[in-house]
Amino acid sequence: MAFPTEEKDPLVPVDVRQEWAGFDLVKVGGEKLLSCKRGNLVLLSGCITTTAPMKQKANFDITVGQVPIHCVPKRFVPFVAPTAMSRYEGIRQCSTSATVRRDGRLVINFSKNTNPMVLHFSGLAFNVGEPVQEIEFLQLDPKESKLTLRPSDDPPAIQCEGKIVTLQGCLQEAAYGFASQNIARLPEGFRPRREIRCMAPLLRRCQEDFGQCDLADQSIALTLKPDGTVAVQGGNIHMVDQKGNMRVLPQKKAGMLSFDGIRFFLGNDAVPIELSSLLKTEEEKKKDEKKNKLLQLFGPRVKNTAVACKQDGIILLEGSLDWDANRPLHNKQVIATLPKGYWPRRRETFFTRGCQEERRRVDIDVYGRIFCTEGADRASDGGGGYVDLSGILFIGAAQPPSGAPLDPDTDDLRLVYNPNTSEVPASSFKGRELLEKFIKRCNVYEWKLLHNAMARGAGRRMLTPLGDSVKIRGWERGNEYNLGKREHSLWRDCLKGPLGERYGISTWHTLMHLSYRKLDEVLDCCPDLGDEGRRHIKGIKRTLEGEWERSRRPGLTFRHLESLAQEIADQMSRHWDFRAQLQGLLKNDFRAPSTIEHLFPRHVNRSQAEIIKANVHEKDFHRFEEIRQFFFLHETTGSNMTHCTLMGAQDMFTTTGKWHFPDAKEVQMQLFENIAWLAERNIYHYISERQTPRFPFIEDFDIQAEVDWKEPDPGQIRPDPPDELILQKPQRDGDEVFGDPGLFLKYRAMAIHMIYPQIENLYCLVYSASGYNKGKEMMKSSFHLVWPQLVVDPDRAPVIRYVTLGIYKNETNKPGSPLNQMQRRLMELHESNEWELVFDSTTINARNGLRLPYSDKASMVVKDPGDREKIKRGELSKNSAFKVRITEGRPSRAVGRLDFTFRKDEDGQDVLEDARWVADERSYTRAEWIKMGSCRRDQNSQEATEITPWQLGPDVMKMLPKKPGEKYYREYDENLEGFTTHVPYPNIMRCSLPTREFVDIWDEQLAEEMDALEEEMEPELRVRIAGQWVSITEDQAIWRAPAVTQFPDKFPDWDWGVGSYKLLRPAELTYIRKKGKIILDGPKDVLEPLLRVLALCRTEPDDHPIMPIYDVTKMERYPGSCWGATN
């Protein structure tokens, strides 16, 4: 079927607010949100992205746009908008409540856990005409159903535009059970030709009555049958938790059932949708094509009943796709293809009804190919796949797209995975630089010449800002020719009027090109000029003639302007917004132009502006803007961030403090190069990178010393930190790097080799962030080690640390040993330099982020020195003191690469043969060092995420704690030669400290945890753990979390005993000094950070193992031992 040659009505852009912009899934500022009206049927198409996410307020109606006046509905139209919290991650069933109001405003309302970054409005359709007929509802038997249905003030009704039937209106609030129930019957003449399985919005009233719209944050399954029966089926409530994951609550759905968004086609002129050949079985491929079409259109419901219908350029899909292919469906695999003439004009994203999941994301690209980018449902028999297409509505393309897909069976959308298709809007380009140089010296006459030449080169009139209201810069307002004060005064007061009236001379430069004889003639018509003025003008002309003669080049004026204009026009025509590029040139404004500022508004404070001005050269500013916008493009408002900044929302490269960078190689390399480019100009990021589920083993070594631990070198304010106690840095002789790392790291490598004896050649990458710790006012030696060969997970990383601590403690306990002497020296520097604190435990937790190399650190410190003294004396808690965020000024830099070689000795024991430096910071570029130091791996790569096999022999097991209280350990039993199968409860710990001392340590560690949660953008969780001591005696101490978050509403009567998520009891800690036990209890999400705090308070696991655990992997590794232990 051919494409229509022209559209019936033009597509009108929806006027979106300043904080929002069009988004085409690749580039911000892409195609705008469009509206289309066919008769009384109005349809929106496209998606938008926010450019100021932190300006949005949860649980309030936010206006994002205004539909055209001819598309304004007569009633409120709700819509469940597919939502993403980052521009480059999936939707995962998340949605935002959207409503088109009677005044034409498009408003949204979201919860605090789903601050939208991208909103899809494809499929938002409504009829602005009058309803044809109201829907008749069935009288339900009260014995069989408790459901009571009553129409609301907006009763459900039918509207019809041609052959497209749309439903509208809603019912009063009711609860819908899990069983399907018939609730209504459509009248004759308005019944679908085939079964329509779709989703209907379930509305609820807003808690605060401020004239806000009803919220469409839930949806319900609705089925229209060919006999007109309308059936609904409820289900469990779906909600997004604090981490951005969709959770299912075992509660019935309740709300006002809305019929908006339900549509179907009355005609029989529908075309079948062809299932992809990769999903067809051999039997299906052999079926007769004509027979298959007849079955799909007129027969009973069979597999693959999906059809496409068209009316006035509007495409409506109905039916479902069902296939029996045994191969699993890939997210980028084509499921089906629409017939030609039924393709959309842009890529569209929809929510359709799911089976195993409530909603199913369906994408259709410009080639008519259908994708399930987040997976499809399984078929009813458990095999193959299934997806519903009913209700998908979009604007058809007037012309087929140019070109063809790269692969007909694979999705071309790469997002930013392919740098060739990822376009980052830049605030500078070569055309702007040429214009900038020209405008700095041009006058109006030259500008008009250039403007005309640019118009000829571009083939159209250029939209330049040099109209009547904008003048070329000069000495003062109105001085359009950049004249001196005297010349400007003469031209304005004496020459301009008479010369223009008598001779038509309208510019100063025309006057200067006259001969002396002609100049005397024309000046005679200026009676106010005077003899002195006449002499001054002739003197200026002689001066200019000399300058022109000295700098004259043949053809300079017109040929140069023609060439310059053509080059500028070629670039500006390709650029996405050239008017903005010109606008800033007249003001000497080198910042992003106004339209890009509208895309990415950013207030740069004075200190940031000074940093930029001092370190970014004018010629590099366009590159700086590209980098800044790269980070803005990858901002996220969700909790599934990949990177965050220690500066929070104060960072100059983000407004949310969080980013989501895909783990694809191209994106990560672009990130590393941008950080390196900035670091070379002394502009450091404060990026903390979150580990992937599987990551290279990483660790931190930290030792502290007082500021006066030794005398500073001449010219220094403070001494250098004691780095030499940890390692000896590499040396260089020409291109050769050499040197011994020292004893400390040799023991470190031996500990790792005990767990990985099969690796004879180990290497690690060393980074240093040593310097003055402003937060603690101490000197700090900090080293960051990455072992790329050791890919671990959160369960294996602690084992390596425990083995290391075991070796170091055993050697330290030997009097006179090197580690014994090192430990004594470290303790002399500061009492916190114990081995357990030197080996930082935070690096082994997958929840904690790690600073990327060449990133600086920012921390919260108490501002008032008096408050700091009070905290030391115990008169003020650290949580109550006023804090400010400061930058440490000690970025993590590369030190070098270490190689360790092991061999077998004569007794067959592994010994360290060699340890040496093989590279230093100069050996690789900064971008390469950042890449090698990253703790993220592409989880789609099997090679990069394969766990490195280890060997836990008896020597290793002895190093592990006997009762660690964690699931992945067993107690090693010498008598049974196996492992125990019970461990203590993790929320019960032992402690031998005095009550007061434990209270002080708890407060200090809790303050640090709260600071960490603030940096991780978890303000709600931070509030929930900000408790206080309710009782402190010598025998007992009781701490309790705040009760203010127990219940948000006024009366909890309706939430008792129903498992409501609103009821949240506070956490409580009890320390019984006589028993030496600490009991911590509370909600699971609050316990997690509090247990981390408790582990740092000099506590030990409980000595009463009663909680059973079983580890299948260890049983398989030691089959005989485990049988002996369990029998």
- Our count of domains for the chain comes to 7
At residue 325, the pLDDT reads 67
Got the DSSP string for 748-789? Answer: HHHHHHHH-TT-SEEEEEEEE--EEETTTTEEEEEEEEEEEE
Instruction: Over range 1102-1124, report the average pLDDT.
Output: 44
The answer to whether residue 591 scores a pLDDT higher than 90 is no
Model confidence at 427: pLDDT above 50: no
pLDDT for the residue numbered 588? 42
Note whether residue 491 is domain-resident.
yes
pLDDT at site 969: 40
Q: What is the mean pLDDT of residues 576-592?
A: 41
As a whole number, mean pLDDT of residues 710-724 equals 91
The b-or-e profile of 40-78 (16+ CB within 10 A means b, else e) is ebbbbbbbbbbbbbeebeeeebbebbbbeeebbbebbbb
Helix (H) or strand (E) holding 1032, with range, is: strand 1028-1032
CATH number of the domain that residue 19 is part of: 2.60.40.1830
Residue 971 lies in a domain: no
pLDDT value, residue 368: 95
Residue where a domain terminates, one of 546, 581, 616: 581
pLDDT over 70 percentage in the chain: 77
pLDDT of residue 873: 82
Predicted confidence at residue 428, as pLDDT, reads 36
| Beta strand extents in 226-273 (DSSP E only) | 229-233, 236-240, 246-257, 263-265, 271-272
Tokens of 689: 């990178």
Residue 1025 has pLDDT above 80, yes or no: yes
Q: Are residues 565 and 647 in the same domain?
A: no
What the block records as the tokens of 819 is: 């580690």
CATH number of domain containing 222: 2.60.40
Total residue count of the chain as it appears in this document = 1127
User: Could you tell me the residue range of the domain that residue 813 belongs to?
Assistant: 694-856+891-960
Range in 303-312, 545-554, 645-654, 912-921 with the lowest mean pLDDT: 545-554
Asked if 292 and 249 sit in the same domain, the reply is no
Residue 598 lies in a domain: no
What is residue 411's predicted lDDT score, i.e. its pLDDT? 87
Assigned domain for 877 exists: no
The CATH code of the domain that includes 1096 is 3.30.160
- Phi-psi region for residue 681, left (φ > 0), alpha (ψ -120 to 50) or beta? alpha
What pLDDT, on a 0 to 100 scale, did the predictor assign at position 207? 62
* Final residue in a domain of this structure, among 250, 267, 284: 267
pLDDT digit string (tens) for 1032-1072?
Answer: 999 999 999 988 767 766 666 666 655 555 677 889 999 99
Mean pLDDT across the stretch 864-869? 85
Q: How confident is the model at residue 304 (pLDDT cuts 50, 70, 90)?
A: low
What does the pLDDT read at residue 394? 96
| 12-16, 265-269, 510-514, 890-894: range with lowest mean pLDDT | 510-514
- Which has the closest alpha carbon to 118: 330, 429, 349? 349
Evaluate if residue 647 carries a pLDDT over 50.
yes
Average pLDDT over every residue of 328-350:
90
354 confidence band (pLDDT: 50, 70, 90): confident
Domain boundary among 662, 689, 716: 689
What integer pLDDT is reported at residue 299 of this predicted model?
A: 42
pLDDT at 603: 54
If asked whether residues 844 and 792 sit together in one domain, one would say yes
Give the highest mean pLDDT range of 128-142, 254-268, 477-491: 254-268
pLDDT classification of 964: cutoffs 50, 70, 90: very low
pLDDT tens per residue, range 766-781: 999 999 998 888 999 9
| Residue 842 counted as domain residue | yes
773 shares its domain with 903: yes
- Average pLDDT over the chain, rounded to whole? 80
Confidence at residue 1112, expressed as pLDDT on a 0 to 100 scale = 34
Q: Are residues 662 and 758 in the same domain?
A: no
Residue 476 confidence (pLDDT) above 80: no
Region 249-254: mean pLDDT is: 79
Same domain flag for 949 and 1031: no
In contact, 63 and 80? CB cutoff 8 Å: no
Q: Report pTM.
A: 0.68
Asked if residue 993 and residue 913 are part of one domain, the reply reads: no
- Does residue 294 form part of some domain? yes
| Confidence (pLDDT) at 451 | 67
Q: Are 296 and 381 within one domain?
A: yes
- Residue 536 and residue 521 share a domain: yes
Question: Could you report the per-residue pLDDT of 75-90, keeping only the tens digit for each?
Answer: 999 999 999 988 888 8
Q: Which DSSP string do the residues of 40-93 spell out, in sequence order?
A: TEEEEE-EEEES-GGG--TTS-EEEEE--GGG--SS-EEEEEEEESBTTS--TT
Most confident of 173-182, 271-280, 377-386, 742-751: 742-751
829 and 919 in a common domain: yes
On the question of pLDDT at 1013 being above 90, the answer is no
pLDDT over 60 (residue 295): no
| Cβ-based burial of 1 (10 A; exposed 0-12, middle 13-18, buried ≥19) | exposed
Q: Is 424 part of a structural domain of the chain? A: no
Residues 281, 353: one domain? Answer: yes
| pLDDT of res. 671 | 94
pLDDT of residue 971: 42
Going along 73-214, which residue ranges are E strands? 77-84, 95-100, 105-109, 118-120, 125-127, 133-134, 136-137, 157-161, 164-168, 174-176, 181-185, 196-204
User: Do 927 and 998 belong to one domain?
Assistant: no
Average pLDDT over residues 368-379: 84
869 in a domain, yes or no?
A: no
Phi then psi dihedrals of residue 79, to 5 deg: -155, 140
Range 2-14 average pLDDT: 63
Average pLDDT over residues 1102-1120: 47
